[in-house]
Structure 1
Amino acid sequence: MSRLTPKPVLRLYLLVVLLLASALASDPLAYAEVTLVDPATADIGTDTTGATDAAVATQIRNVFSRIESLQQVDVESVHGVVVLSGFVPNEASAVRAVEIASRMRGVVAVEDTTDRTFTLRENAAPLLTSFAQRVESWMKATPLLLAAIALFASVSFVAHRIAVWDDLWSRLTPNPFLAQLASQAVRLAGVVLALVLALNLLGASALTGTILGSAGVVGLAISFGVKDSIENYISSIMLSIRQPFRAQDHVVINEFEGLVIRLTSRSTVLMTLDGNHVRIPNAIVYKSPILNYTRNPQRRLEFVLGVDPAYDPAEAMRVGAETLLGLDWVLAEPDPLAVIESVGDSTILIKFMAWIDQRETDFGKARSLCIRATKNALEEQGFGLPEPTYRLKLSQPLPHLPDAPQAPSSEPEPAAMKPAATASDVPGEMDVAPETHLNEKVREEIALTAEEDLLDSSRPVE
């Protein structure tokens, strides 16, 4: 930033001083003290000296003669005390007469002795006159009012036509929910613009600011009241943009599991595995973890079997894995796997894991038959699958118990190894084909219901 040299600064100061001096020289009273007077309480009159009682009374009568409701009021003034008498139509007229008289210069006090007539004609006449004047003013303003209405209607109509221009919004945004939101915003903006233009045409520009300010305050108050609805609405926008799942996907949202039917502007609709409908607010969907079983067609199943500790668990793991690998619906890649999960007093828990293709195999059926085949294979190979055993420790021996027979040796006889079970061991009538009944119900629901769906199969999934 450049700095002023001393000479330009001095010249600027001299210029300001000259301007002030010229202003004071041209009008020395311009800067005198000014006292603002309220017109409603200002004194009426032009001369503050020599104001006689007669002059004051005459001045008040002249004022009252110009007011229809005070024309029957008599005025007397004695030593600055004004006495009002006569007739007034109502209390408001009496109060008005006292206010006018008290504002006259030279008046010390006002005494009201007027009588209130309360006649219908005198009280109704001002109302009728005011109504007639209003009607006349409205008649005069009719062309301008019609022009303002026409302007409001024209601008609103243009905004409405733009808002319903579906081809335009579909090109601007492929998301139908965002397109609807944008069209509503254009329609609302058009109405506000039309209202502002119409009010300005009527000369009520000050009213425009008042209306917009009030609308802002009301909108802020409403936003606090419908905070949850606004949060749900914004969540719907984000979900429609993200596309976290597709229709008919098998998902788990919060504690709800089922197939996705549709995503609306308010909720996500699922069909549970038992055929019921559940609507989850989009605010909950957006904030909750979503488990999607359909996204990856390959899914791992697992189960646990207990083997007697007396047998080699490694051999049991080998037999179980070979049995799973021999099943037609189990994928060879990745290989079936078995691991020891825990060792107890009466059993060794072995976890078996295998992968299936959900497009060709039902998860529940496959898991059940895998458990059955592995269990049979282990038993055929001589492995024991013991039941849980509990040991009881007694502080004192029980009386009158016969001698227990000699327990056999706990060393098991070597198990005769047999070939591992294969898929042929599973009965043919127990197929593992995926169940399509629930998917058919979902497709029927989608086809029969005309409710909006924000899920777009043409857009990429998040």
Structure 2
Amino acid sequence: MLFGLAVHREGWSLRLAAQDPPAVEESAPAKPEDKGEEKLAAPVKVEVEPIAEDRQIERRLLRILTATEWFTEPDVRVDEGVVFLAGMARREEHKNWASELAQKTQDVVAVVNRMSVQASPLWDLRPAWREAEDLGRNLIRSVPLMLLALGLILLTWLLAGISHRLARFTFDSKLRSPLLAEVAARGITLLVFVIGLYVSLRISGLTQIAATLLGGTGLIGLIIGIAFRDIAENFLASVLISVQRPFSLGDLIEVGANMGFVQSVTMRGTLMMTLEGNHLQIPNSIVYKSIIRNLTSNPNVRLQIDIGIGYDDSISNVQQVILKVLQEHEAVLDNPEPMVLADTFGTSSVNLRCYAWIDTSKHSGLRVRSSLLRLIKQAIQDEGVSIPDGAREVIFPREIPIRILDPQPAVAHETKAATMLYDGSSTASAKPIVAPTANSDDERREAATEAEAGLVSEAEEIKEQARNARKPEGGENILATEVETPDDEGVDEKKQ
């Protein structure tokens, strides 16, 4: 069969060109710039002289393999159209490329590749160097795009700044809260900047980075929201407090079990000074979610005083006595008018409840209450009204002897005889007595005594202490820009 193929090859008659024989339309690739990324695709066809002798094929293939510099000591032998390749290839891809090259050479029947592949050293750093070279070339090629992107980002920054100033100017005239205006302006600024940055990256050809930016923005927002949940909650509560204004600076408020005068409201919490002169800082999230009792929004406060009188005393007379004390007191308002009501029947007394309204912006509730208690007690004692103690019942398991002594002159009422019970028990009860008044003229009838330190509200004292005290926390006071315009209409002053 090989003899027949040889005869057939010798009988081929092809027209020769007048010029140099077109033996070679070689597509052996030129030496690439990047040796680490050579394209190993074999040429589609390698043409030789019309009548390709084995020696011609050998020489042609050997020259191509040598030109690539991929092989060490390459050797090509052709016998009856069968190509035998020998030598050492640098990589497996080079060996396969040589096989494909020989297979596509004219008049090649088969290819036997006996090449060996050069073993890579254990500490071969050439791949790392090739990667570094690739990064360097890519960086140099991307410099113009990076400069374009940088210019567009600077333009975006300028546009974001202009949008912030315009938004702040607009919101300052429409929103009462400076904090809410700043948050809204920054939100618009951030939106403008993100859109501008995305457009800049797309125009610069950095589409992958732009897509990553959009995807990463939402992810980063989610991570920040989870990691700083408490801080975000305080921030939102600060915005809501700034908008709704449940209290103002200097207001006396009660948050849960805490009471004090509001000193400042920062992004973190509300700073108060208690009536004891201590700084108290409560996170805004707790303030906003708690029940807030504002004791300053309406300066008029109603005081309540309970007094018990004896059953033998006239309720109406005692009411008039107490009402006169309330009406004549300088801290009690005429409107709403004070009241003295019979409340309950106690074990040994009829309990009266007194109501009086005072202006806490001028007077202290604690001091006025102390003054009223003192003056009411003095007035009803001057009228001979008893203030009974609670009744007591003593039960003795066995009878005991009792000797009755002569009554003392200071006792205002006679002592009732004790009744002995022959069943082993005895009871003793006595009508409440009035303590000796000594000399009523000695009692001071001033509205406020030296011990009560006047009736003035302690709000000014607390404010003075707050001004002299060191603030435990810095930060911008989001309520500092408010203008206090107290409305005194409808608040009746004490008649002079």
TM-score normalised by the chain length of structure 2 = 0.65
- Name the residue aligned to 2:367: 365
Contact 1:297/1:358 (<8 A) preserved: yes
Partners of 1:357 and 1:125 in 2: how far apart?
89
- Name the residue aligned to 2:482: 457
- Listed as ranges, the matches of 1:92-171 within 5 Å are 93-94=91-92, 96=93, 114-118=117-121, 123-125=124-126, 127-163=128-164, 167=169, 169-171=171-173
Q: Report SS of the residue matched to 2:205.
A: coil
Q: Which amino acid aligns with 2:234?
A: N
Partners of 2:247 and 2:87 in 1: how far apart?
89
Q: Report SS of the residue matched to 2:161.
A: helix
Unaligned runs of 5+ in 2: 1-40, 46-53, 79-83, 104-108, 406-414, 418-429, 435-439, 487-496
Q: Which amino acid aligns with 2:121?
A: F
Contact 2:338/2:356 (<8 A) preserved: yes
Contact 1:258/1:272 (<8 A) preserved: yes
Match of 1:221 among 195, 204, 223: 223
- Listed as ranges, the matches of 1:52-63 within 5 Å are none
Shift of 1:97: 6.0
Q: Structure 1 residues 332 and 83, CA, compared in 2 at 3 Å: closer, same or farther?
A: farther
Shift of 1:177: 0.5
TM-score normalised by the chain length of structure 1 = 0.70
Match of 2:313 among 306, 311, 314: 311
Count of aligned residue pairs for this structure pair: 397
- Listed as ranges, the matches of 1:11-410 within 5 Å are 86=88, 88=90, 93-94=91-92, 96=93, 114-118=117-121, 123-125=124-126, 127-163=128-164, 167=169, 169-171=171-173, 173-394=175-396, 396-398=397-399, 401-405=400-404, 407-408=415-416
Q: Structure 1 residues 449 and 204, CA, compared in 2 at 3 Å: closer, same or farther?
A: closer
Partners of 1:373 and 1:170 in 2: how far apart?
54
Shift of 1:343: 2.5
Q: Structure 1 residues 198 and 426, CA, compared in 2 at 3 Å: closer, same or farther?
A: closer
- Name the residue aligned to 1:10: none
Contact 1:72/1:87 (<8 A) preserved: no
Partners of 2:192 and 2:63 in 1: how far apart?
56
Partners of 2:328 and 2:474 in 1: how far apart?
48
Match of 2:461 among 425, 434, 437: 437
Q: Report SS of the residue matched to 1:116.
A: coil
Q: Deviations over 1:313-367 (max 9, x none)?
A: 4433332222222212212222222233433323333221111122332211111
Partners of 1:66 and 1:304 in 2: how far apart?
116
Partners of 1:213 and 1:335 in 2: how far apart?
68
Partners of 1:255 and 1:381 in 2: how far apart?
41
Percent identity for Structure 1 against Structure 2: 23
Q: Deviations over 1:182-224 (max 9, x none)?
A: 3322332243233212311221224312321122123223323
Contact 2:371/2:448 (<8 A) preserved: no
Which region of structure 1 is more displaced relative to structure 2, 440-449 or 368-377? 440-449
Shift of 1:300: 0.8
Shift of 1:119: 8.5
Contact 1:336/1:355 (<8 A) preserved: yes
Shift of 1:293: 1.2
Partners of 1:437 and 1:73 in 2: how far apart?
103
Q: Structure 1 residues 413 and 227, CA, compared in 2 at 3 Å: closer, same or farther?
A: closer
Partners of 1:302 and 1:287 in 2: how far apart?
30
Partners of 1:219 and 1:185 in 2: how far apart?
13
Partners of 1:363 and 1:111 in 2: how far apart?
109
Q: Report SS of the residue matched to 2:404.
A: coil
Contact 2:389/2:432 (<8 A) preserved: no
Q: Deviations over 1:214-266 (max 9, x none)?
A: 22123223323333322222221111111111111111112210001112222
Q: Report SS of the residue matched to 1:352.
A: strand
Shift of 1:131: 3.5
Partners of 1:173 and 1:73 in 2: how far apart?
85
Unaligned runs of 5+ in 1: 1-42, 48-53
Partners of 2:69 and 2:476 in 1: how far apart?
69
Shift of 1:447: 11
Q: Which amino acid aligns with 1:379?
A: Q
Partners of 1:338 and 1:230 in 2: how far apart?
52
Q: Which protein has greater RCO, CA pairs closer than 8 Å, 6+ apart? A: 1
Contact 1:156/1:187 (<8 A) preserved: no
Contact 1:74/1:86 (<8 A) preserved: no
Q: Which amino acid aligns with 2:119?
A: R
Contact 2:339/2:355 (<8 A) preserved: yes
Contact 1:338/1:352 (<8 A) preserved: yes
Q: Which amino acid aligns with 1:264?
A: T
Q: Structure 1 residues 307 and 172, CA, compared in 2 at 3 Å: closer, same or farther?
A: closer
Partners of 1:73 and 1:344 in 2: how far apart?
123
Shift of 1:61: 9.9
Partners of 1:441 and 1:102 in 2: how far apart?
96
Contact 1:153/1:194 (<8 A) preserved: no
Shift of 1:424: 4.3
